[in-house]
Amino acid sequence: MLNKYARAFFTRVLTPFAALLLRWGVSPDAVTLIGTAGSVAGALVFFPRGEFFWGTITITLFIFSDLVDGNMARQAGRSSKWGAFLDSTLDRVADAAIFGGLAMWYSGSGNNDLLCAVAIFCLASGQVVSYTKARGEALGFPVNVSGLVERAERLVISLVAAGVTGLRTFGVPYVDWLLPTALWVVAAGSLVTVAQRMLTVRRESAELEAATAAVEGGR
């Protein structure tokens, strides 16, 4: 849902900025690399120290590069398979840094081994969510399902919760429960999404095998 509606909205909003970067001679690949570097730095510098508010602000500012680079490529007429590959690969790096930073906090000053494990599960399951679709499509299946929790939902849930939790440093009470709850929600949603995609590929595989058998039987 977020991919469908929010991405379209922010793409329209960021189009003038993308055009400005092109006039300055900035390449889409450079924006992708800078955005990823900024997101990784924000996650691994702030989150392990429990500075969730500033970490979230930093990550959010850089994560919009995921919308800007594609917009720039389309405006310049330079969309390519390499650009799509680079963008998708570096998305996985940024996601790993975000949940890795949260895991580092809970394994250290956060002092909660269970939530550290949940953060690591969110990291791993997010990668598997992406892999199941990519691998299914590589095998020739359409994988006609988005799933309960895609990347946009994982990031919004986690970063909003982290950012609000970070407001405790400004004296806002009763917010400590938000981030743990968000991690459990993302973990459960990612697990469901993996199952949805696996079942979809299994069904599509069975349908293809049945159709192939029917064609061969009719010869």
Cα–Cα distance measured from residue 137 to residue 109, given in angstroms and rounded to the nearest whole number:
42
- Set 29, 66, 87, 91: catalytic member: 91
Residue with tokens 């550290």: 116
Contact 133, 76 (CB under 8 A): no
**Which is nearest to 179 in space by CA: 190, 167, 196, 192?**
167
| CA-wise closest residue to 91 among 133, 145, 147 | 133
Determine whether 29 is an active site residue: no
Length of the chain: 219
Positions marked active-site? 91
